[in-house]
Chains A and B, each alone.
Chain A
């Protein structure tokens, strides 16, 4: 029979659905048919009617419909209570993404009702005066506890709601596959995807169905299922996995042959046997798979985490393999995994075992080098060697053996054992030649010997040094072979030439090599590196071949030389910086710049050219191209003029700092002092009295300026001056000096520093003493005066005025030690440096505890009173870059 069914909503004329239902009708049948309404039935009255006709091919046409049945009413509203508002459907379960229709029914059509989904108002379609429906499209999963939808009647505080339980979408199982480890059980696994469980509703379940056998099992786990293989008869399997929850199901199938899905169990009992320095035997076992299966096992040998050997071994149950070509004293790991040899499906799990090979004697000779020096007249050989690499040591080095054999006078072997922690040793030998063998020992034996021959004769050290340029890669060093019989070359250098020890390095090169690049992470710009190239003779003796010196990168000098001013005349003076070493600078010194500036002269002297200083001021510059020319004579100067000079070296990277100029004032052309017994000395023609701070003698001079200058005698009114010199041949004895200087050795002028008489500082020996009877009665009364050695460097650059004895003493002390050996009293100048009044100021505590002892004195017995206005003008004020230097001895202090 075929039944045609009509469904109406609200009223019978409003047909919303028509459908057919065909079924076989038996005697007294009760037929069941159901229809799901999208709109909850509680919200509207529904009507249903049907008609039928025969639907049997045996019955000839025409076949007529029966009459429609009467409408049957389905009215769920009648069973509701008297509440003012109802909301449907209650507690509905849907899948995420589906469409849901909800409705409310109000008892009072006057009520104003608003509805909300998770706080957001929703708007629906009014079905009649009391009923509205809301269609929610593609509902989202919000939380497992459901989505609240509620409506409220405004002004009446009535709330009604429902909870929509939205389930996550049930996914098709992913990565579904089955395999066996023993042909007894098939294990099927899959990725179940999202959990669709909700409160009071369990997650999806899984069922495994095999079509060939027709068997079905309910899986206990969400992601795996075990299937018992009943017999060997079934080779093919066709599994269907069905995932199912309250809302539906998803399924996935797989068809396979059992023998193609063999996943062996992890091998076991992996052992290493007969482990020697280079070989080891590996054994292992596997779980058998069936009666005829063969397994293919992969044996990996790993060193430091990397696979270094790989071997394939076919086995039934027991595996064995001999590993060879191993390194002694090395840790390895053997790792085994297996798979079905006939139909590869998957590797089994891996089993691994670490082992260490036995030690073997070191395989290489040590890289040995030597340094020969003379200690107390005896040649002393320092041997250096580089530790053997792990690859060549073949074990733990226990010690080094150094065997010394005298080649000139055979007298047996001398054997020294050096601890393993050392990388060198020192041997004291004689002038004979010695052959030295050095070996490294581990538990398995000694290394091949490294042989070196040394001789007490250092050989030719007089090799001219050449320059070598440094690059980013290092120093490219090349040499010319000499003997033609060299068996090799060695380049030697220090990584830290300024340190002690200097970290001697060497590089061995073959006999057919004549160049190499020396690189080191220790190389720094501005450091001079010296390279010595040795030729190794067939007798294994090293001969110095060449010397090279170079900078990775030359830098500009950081310091200027300390310049001494001498031979000052009214028209010239001499600058010298003989102590300046050109070897230990930041680059190769190519020469010097001499800068001169003077307010008196606008034009540059011949040989000078105009230059501009960093502060934009102008000066004159003279270039000296010879780095070994360390003197310069300034000529054609004006008398009684102030000159400022600066000497700075230059390298390829630039010159030194242009900071502190030194001031020199040329004297006038008058003589001041008659000298007494200095006849045996060489006297420059312009002797002068010089005053460091002669405010008594130069009334016009400002006392703030502590610098020295020349007092023009014509500005003074001499009262009386007397120079008393002690007997000839007296020597100036400097404390701590290794030699004494006679007056005849005084090639440089010096200052005399005078203090108020203090007996503590007086001492025996010759001195020059000025007594200012006019201004210092206390000193005069004392009948003695300070006796101090003459120290040319004492005054220049002292930060404070020297008007106080404390400062003066400091200056004396500081410079005293530095000046030893080069200090000489002025041979022709009577140098009045400081005439101190009795002003005692400054920190007396800072007086040195042991002031230098005076050793030489001359005495200035009487002085003059200087009338105001007769003193020579004060020296020019210093510029920022200038300081005033003593005439005869000039040094810079910064």
Chain B
């Protein structure tokens, strides 16, 4: 029941309100995207812990962190404040959109990996599926904001390419860790970006 309820809530955030007569204003779209980002932020810690616990040592060791592990196919969320502050609306949203496009594809890959490695862990698989759905939702919400603000909407592209295939089990475990970690970083950045838009386009 709780699982069904969670999915229902998730869909409420992800799906555009089709039944409304009047189109949503930019501020409403920003608020909706912002609320989704907050929801993603709330679930981040649980997802990361569930993932790490399922992978065994060293991932499940207390305080595990491997910042040196990176995926070139994922854009880094780190950015200097000066650069971030100087981004215009279009660039800001484009970067978020690009990141969540990549994250959506990577989360799909991680979900597939874990179906192989941890087929008997339905909680982990469900959380990865939810994370991917949220990333997709964020993608749609940002696109809607860009449309509402009259900004050009870049074309979706395949960010994964051929890179991930053929990885060993350990590499796939590492890859999943990086994707989830970066998913968290980009969620934090999206919250910050959308908070900026909320201030800029008040309702």
Contact = CB atoms under 8 A, between A and B. Distances in A.
Interface of A: 87, 90-91, 116, 118-119, 142-148, 150, 156-163, 165, 199-200
Given A163-B169, A163-B170, A145 B57 contact: no
B152 interface: no
Given A90-B169, A91-B168, A119 B174 contact: no
B56 interface: yes
9 contacts: A91-B168, A118-B56, A119-B57, A145-B54, A148-B170, A150-B58, A159-B69, A161-B170, A165-B169
Given A116-B58, A119-B58, A90 B66 contact: no
Contacts of A160: 170
Nearest to B116: A200
Nearest to A156: B68
B119 interface: yes
A159 B66 contact: yes
A90 B58 contact: no
A461 B68 CA distance: 113
Nearest to B54: A145
B67 A199 contact: no
Interface of B: 54-59, 61, 66-69, 116-120, 168-170, 173-174
Given A119-B58, A143-B56, A157 B66 contact: yes
A702 B188 CA distance: 98
Given A118-B56, A199-B117, A158 B169 contact: no
A161 B174 CA distance: 9
Among the interface residues A145, A148, A165, which one has the most CB atoms of the partner chain B within 10 A? A145
B54 to A, nearest CB: 7
Nearest to A87: B170
Contact of A148 (B55, B66, B67, B69): B55
Nearest to B170: A161
Contact of A90 (B59, B61, B67, B170): B170
Given A157-B67, A199-B119, A200-B116, A163 B173 contact: yes
Given A199-B116, A200-B116, A91 B56 contact: no
B61 to A, nearest CB: 6
A119 B118 contact: no
A91 B66 contact: no
A118 B170 contact: no
A148 B118 contact: no
Contacts of B173: 148, 161, 163
A148 B56 contact: yes
A159 B173 CA distance: 12
B63 to A, nearest CB: 12
Nearest to B119: A199
A118 B57 contact: yes
A145 B58 contact: no
A234 B30 CA distance: 81
Contacts of B55: 145, 148
A148 B57 contact: yes
Contacts of B119: 199-200
Contacts of B67: 157
Contacts of B56: 118, 142-143, 145-148
A91 B169 contact: yes
Contact of A119 (B54, B61, B120): B61
A210 to B, nearest CB: 36
A102 to B, nearest CB: 12
Among the interface residues B118, B120, B169, which one has the most CB atoms of the partner chain A within 10 A? B169
